[in-house]
Amino acid sequence: MPKGDTHIAACLIGWPAAHSRSPLIHHYWLRTLGIPGGYSIESVPPEGFAEFVLNLKTHGYSGANVTIPHKERALLLTAPDERARAVGAANTLYYDGDVLRSTNTDVEGFIDNLDASAPGWDRTPHAVVLGAGGSSRAVLFGLLERGIQRIALANRSIERARALADLFGERVVPIAWTDAPAALPGAGLLVNTTSLGMKGQPSLDLDLAPLPADATVADLVYVPLETELLAEARGRGLRTADGLGMLLHQAVRGFELWFGARPHVTAELRALVEADLLAHT
């Protein structure tokens, strides 16, 4: 959608959604780019989601982000692209003429944050991914697209890991959760996609000593800003990529689709969101 004098509005649809930092991010970009637009939160229960999405323009919106628990349903109500179909969830909706299309920007949010935080991370042929939930699907898609040759996927329910391996192919190797430490030697990348280490959740108890000295550790958790996993990784001199960086980078393409200008993730924006997180956690 071209930038112009028209006030363009987008929103975040979730249930609940009040905790989201997306308005802070998008209002920062609207202000710094001088675009007369808006971004709101819409708390929509599951029973009202279809009506809201199918009448998005009537509700005054040119596009939307979608969060829990609506991401899978959004896929069925829109025209999804390859990424959204592969991940099995849509988090960004936008109009192409009168067609409501959807995509998943978690993939590039994860990959772009890795590129910014640990350039050259993709020189490794081997990675270890912890967790087999929705976030894991986006991570696996991004790593495979980037050319990682072998991904050990550890999950407490190995059946769920096997299901993702069946979906993504033989380069994804399902392993038992207890076998994760044995997969670390030779792995140039470790990614935590679970909620372990998040505020209010159990810690992720994993010794990083077997990782190579040039490995990168990524954690999708961003509350707290520095998880115990990332603190241990930094203490060992390993490069890290945190969940806040992914949150910021995943917002870029949605903004561009709605408002017609590509924003940048800056130190000022990160400091703004960090301050808000620290003030409310």
- Which residue among 3, 57, 71, 199 is the active-site one? 71
Sheet holding 172-176, edge to edge: 172-176, 150-155, 126-130, 189-192, 216-219, 239-241
Task: Give yes or no: 199 in active site.
Answer: no
User: Which residues contact residue 187 at a Cβ distance below 8 angstroms, ignoring those fewer than 6 apart?
Assistant: 124, 126, 127, 128, 152, 211, 212, 215
Coil, helix or strand at residue 243:
helix
Q: Strand ranges (DSSP E) for the chain?
A: 8-14, 37-43, 63-66, 79-80, 92-96, 99-103, 126-130, 150-155, 172-176, 189-192, 216-219, 239-241
> Do 35 and 259 contact (CB within 8 A), yes or no?
yes
Residues annotated as catalytic (active site), given as ranges: 71
